[in-house]
């Protein structure tokens, strides 16, 4: 089972040297991947109508593709994972281009996690319809996979039309591995048809999650896909679980078929990047 780290982007700050040191330390500790969230902007909770989301304009978020392009030049083996890109609020071909570029610059070290998102404010400012986002994402992923594997693409869909055009350079990985978030039945069917893995986030490895995994495996089998080759990548949140629970949680996830597991150190009361580093060092010693 591969081990990763959730980039503590709401707490690490904006110093490029600190970010570089953090990523190099993650790699030096023997972690396999670094995962970053995606939020383009944050809302003001005092805005007309209020706001009750988990993040506001006071929470910093580094843009994943730009971040990974920077880190590709200062690391050697670390895989970069978006967890998750809110694909329906972004332009599909531009995402395909940015992902291909990160894959090229990193030598094939990108894993693209995608999902439909929950924040209508971001959809509004990016001029995308929030209410049909679930319908759009399947076509988006299908188109990106075409663009990553063919020099020229002709595509006619509900929301996209391409007439004999293509990306250059193409990515190293053809196609780039695409993983999905979400756990609703429609999301499970979608990822079983189009995806390479599931990203359940900080969900617990309990009986409810076991039922979700069983449904996912059923849909994979229905589509003549081997469930044992389909990845599962949850994370353990330090703020919610003391170190005495880490090994048990990791083992329970392994029993459910997890191929990866990450550690999230945000919201644990840490006040410096070094505290985040000490936490992931400790986690690797116990779980890794």
pLDDT at 49 (0 to 100): 84
Beta bridge partners of 235: 262
Q: What is the mean pLDDT of residues 102-127?
A: 95
Q: What is the dihedral of CA 212, 252, 266, 23, to 10 degrees?
A: -100
DSSP code of residue 132: T
Give yes or no for residue 72 having a pLDDT over 90.
yes
pLDDT at 217 (0 to 100): 98
Element containing residue 233 per DSSP (H, E) = strand 231-237
Mean pLDDT of the chain: 96
pLDDT tens digits along 78-94: 999 999 999 999 999 99
Evaluate if pTM is beyond 0.85. Answer: yes
Q: Give which of 225, 189, 209 is closest to 257, Cα–Cα.
A: 209
Pairing of the two strands 2-6 and 33-36: parallel
Which distant-in-sequence residues (6+ apart) come within 8 Å of 65 by Cβ? 82, 98, 99, 101, 102
pLDDT tens digits along 194-213: 999 999 999 999 999 999 99
Residue whose pair of structure tokens reads 């970010």 in the numeric block: 19
Q: What is the mean pLDDT of residues 42-56?
A: 88
Q: Rounded distance, CA 56 to CA 43, Å? A: 5
CATH number of the domain that 127 lies in?
Answer: 3.20.20.30
Q: Rounded distance, CA 170 to CA 184, Å? A: 33
Confidence of residue 159 (pLDDT cuts 50, 70, 90): very high
Burial class (CB in 10 A: 0-12, 13-18, 19+), 172: middle
What totals of helices (H) and strands (E) does the chain contain, helices first?
9, 10
Domain total in the chain: 1
DSSP code of residue 229: G
pLDDT at 73 (0 to 100): 97
pLDDT tens digits along 259-283: 999 999 999 999 999 999 999 999 9
Q: What is the mean pLDDT of residues 167-195?
A: 97
Residue 165: which domain range?
A: 2-287
Q: What are phi and psi of 100, to 5 degrees?
A: -60, -40
CB 33 within 8 A of CB 80: yes
- Both structure tokens of 78: 């670390």
DSSP code of residue 170: P
pLDDT tens digits along 234-265: 999 999 999 999 999 999 999 999 999 999 99
- Taken in order 217, 223, 225, 226, is the CA torsion positive or negative? positive
């Amino acid at each position: 089972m591969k081990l990763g780290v959730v980039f503590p982007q709401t707490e690490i700050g904006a110093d490029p040297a600190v970010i570089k040191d953090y990523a190099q330390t993650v790699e030096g500790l023997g972690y396999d991947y670094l995962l970053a969230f995606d939020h383009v902007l944050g809302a003001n909770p005092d805005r007309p109508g209020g706001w009750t989301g988990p993040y506001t304009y006071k929470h910093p978020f580094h843009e994943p593709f730009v971040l990974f392009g920077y880190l590709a030049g200062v690391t050697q083996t670390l895989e970069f994972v978006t967890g998750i890109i809110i694909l329906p609020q972004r332009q599909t071909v531009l995402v395909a281009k940015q992902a291909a570029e990160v894959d090229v610059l990193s030598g094939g070290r990108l894993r693209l996690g995608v999902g439909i998102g929950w924040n209508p404010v971001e959809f509004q400012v990016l001029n995308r319809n929030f209410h049909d986002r679930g319908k759009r994402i399947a076509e988006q992923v299908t188109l990106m996979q075409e663009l990553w594997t063919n020099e020229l693409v002709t595509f006619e869909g509900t929301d996209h039309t391409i007439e004999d055009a293509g990306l250059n350079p193409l990515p190293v990985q053809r196609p780039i591995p695409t993983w999905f978030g979400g756990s609703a039945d429609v999301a499970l069917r979608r990822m079983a048809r189009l995806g390479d893995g599931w990203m359940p986030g900080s969900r617990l490895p309990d009986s409810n999650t076991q039922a979700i995994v069983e449904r996912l495996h059923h849909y994979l089998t229905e589509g003549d896909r081997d469930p044992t080759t389909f990845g599962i990548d949850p994370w353990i949140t330090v703020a919610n679980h003391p170190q005495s629970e880490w090994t048990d949680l990791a083992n329970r996830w392994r029993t459910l078929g997890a191929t990866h597991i990450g550690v999230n150190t945000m919201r644990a009361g840490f006040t410096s990047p070094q505290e985040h580093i000490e936490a992931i060092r400790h986690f690797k010693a116990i779980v890794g």
